[in-house]
Amino acid sequence: MKLPNNNKNLPFFAALSAFLSLVESLIILPVPFFKLGIANIPITIGFAFFNIKEIIYITVFKIIISHLLRGTLFGYPVIVAICGNIIFLAIAIPLFHLLRKHASFISISLIGAVAHTLGQIAGAAIFIPVKSLIYPALLALIIGFITGIINGVICNKIYYIFERGIKYESSSL
């Protein structure tokens, strides 16, 4: 699934992920730092185009830029985001490499969304009493499950467009 010579697409994927993170912050959910995961769509698709270091670069860029522009770079939301993304990457990277020939973007996105939500819950537990976090956490896990599937379907559709564009670009050189 890995395509050659995609380094020029790396800034686009990183910027798109940061932009989607900002858009996502406009969506109001019961707990402010739980998000729908649309900013992880470029990261999930990126598994097909980039190596692990580049995936981590996209993720870190997304976190820094989106929290810098929101004014939360030095607050608890960035800690929650870091926890969510660490767990997302810790599960999604090995999953993708173990199941490279059989993994779909839906499976990576689904497991990644649930892992991301679990990481956010773990990060939130540092700041919010666990008793008051139980119901929002269950809601966030359900949302993570649903959006993981939806985002995976979106990734499958978008990947086809990128794959065709890159193959066309390579053949025209």
pLDDT band at residue 6 under the 50/70/90 scheme: low
Percent of the chain with pLDDT over 70: 82
Mean of pLDDT over the chain: 79
Q: Report how far apart, in Å, the C-alpha atoms of 111 and of each of 30, 100, 170 are.
A: 22, 15, 32
CA distances from 3 to 51, 56, 119, 149 (A): 10, 18, 30, 24
pLDDT tier at 2, thresholds 50, 70, 90: very low
Q: Can you give the pTM of this predicted structure? A: 0.76
The per-residue pLDDT for 124 is 78
Task: Tell me which of 90 and 35 has the higher pLDDT.
Answer: 90
pLDDT tens, residue by residue, 36-89:
678 888 888 888 888 889 989 999 999 999 889 888 888 878 887 888 888 888
pLDDT at 30: 62
Residues 6+ apart with CB under 8 A from 46: 13, 54, 55, 58
Q: Is the Cβ–Cβ distance between 22 and 66 less than 8 Å?
A: yes
pLDDT digits (tens, 9 = 90+) for 8-28: 788 989 999 999 988 887 877
- Is the pLDDT at 131 greater than 80, yes or no? no
At 96 the pLDDT is 74
Whether 95 has a pLDDT exceeding 70, the answer reads yes
Over range 88-102, report the average pLDDT: 75
- Which of 33, 11, 40 lies closest to 136, judged by CA? 33
Q: Of the spans 114-118, 133-137, 139-143, 154-158, which averages the highest pLDDT?
A: 154-158
